[in-house]
A and B are shown apart, each in its own frame.
Chain A
Amino acid sequence: MEKEEEEEEMVGTTLSQQLRNYIQTMHDQGILDHHFDHVKSLQNEENPQFVMEVISMFSHDAEIGISQATEFLNCVVDFAKVICFVHQLKGSSSSIGGQRMAMACRELRHACDIRSKERCLEIFGRLKQEYNTLHECLNTISQMERTIIANETRRRQP
Chain B
Amino acid sequence: MVLGKGASSSLSMNKVDGAEEMVDNSNNFTVLVADDDPLIQKLHEMHLKKFGLKVQVVENGKKAVDLCHFGATFNLILIDKEMPVMDGAEATKELQAMGVNSLIVGVTSRDSPYEKQAFMEAGLDYCFEKPLTADKINFLLQELNKNN
> What is the interface of chain A, defined by CB distance below 8 A to chain B?
35, 38-39, 41-42, 47, 50, 53-54, 57-58, 61, 84, 87-88, 90-92, 94-96, 106, 109
**Known contacts A39-B43, A57-B42; is A91 also within 8 Å of B111 by CB?**
no
Q: Are B46 and A91 in contact (CB under 8 A)?
A: no
A157 to chain B, nearest CB (A): 28
Q: Are A38 and B111 in contact (CB under 8 A)?
A: no
B92 to chain A, nearest CB (A): 18
> What is the interface of chain B, defined by CB distance below 8 A to chain A?
37-40, 42-43, 46-47, 50, 82, 108-111, 130-134
A35 to chain B, nearest CB (A): 5
- Select A42's contact among B50, B82, B111, beta carbons within 8 Å: B50
**20 A/B residue pairs, CB under 8 Å, sorted by A:** A35-B133, A41-B50, A42-B47, A50-B46, A54-B39, A54-B42, A57-B38, A61-B37, A87-B82, A87-B109, A88-B82, A90-B130, A91-B40, A92-B37, A95-B40, A95-B131, A96-B39, A96-B43, A106-B111, A109-B111
Q: Are B130 and A94 in contact (CB under 8 A)?
A: yes
Count of chain A to chain B residue pairs whose CB atoms are closer than 8 Å in the complex: 57
How far is it, in angstroms, between the C-alpha of A84 and the C-alpha of B84 when the chains are bound? 12
How far is it, in angstroms, between the C-alpha of A64 and the C-alpha of B82 when the chains are bound? 17
How far is it, in angstroms, between the C-alpha of A60 and the C-alpha of B43 when the chains are bound? 15
Q: Are A92 and B40 in contact (CB under 8 A)?
A: yes
A63 to chain B, nearest CB (A): 13
**Cβ-closest chain B residue relative to A84:** B82
A58 to chain B, nearest CB (A): 6
How far is it, in angstroms, between the C-alpha of A35 and the C-alpha of B37 when the chains are bound? 18
Most chain A Cβ neighbours within 10 Å, of B109, B111, B133: B109
B133 to chain A, nearest CB (A): 7
How far is it, in angstroms, between the C-alpha of A54 and the C-alpha of B43 when the chains are bound? 8
A54 to chain B, nearest CB (A): 7
- In the bound complex, residues from chain B placing their C-beta under 8 Å from that of A96 are 39, 43
- Select B39's contact among A35, A38, A41, A92, beta carbons within 8 Å: A92
B79 to chain A, nearest CB (A): 13
Most chain A Cβ neighbours within 10 Å, of B37, B39, B40: B39
**Known contacts A38-B133, A38-B134, A87-B82; is A95 also within 8 Å of B39 by CB?**
yes
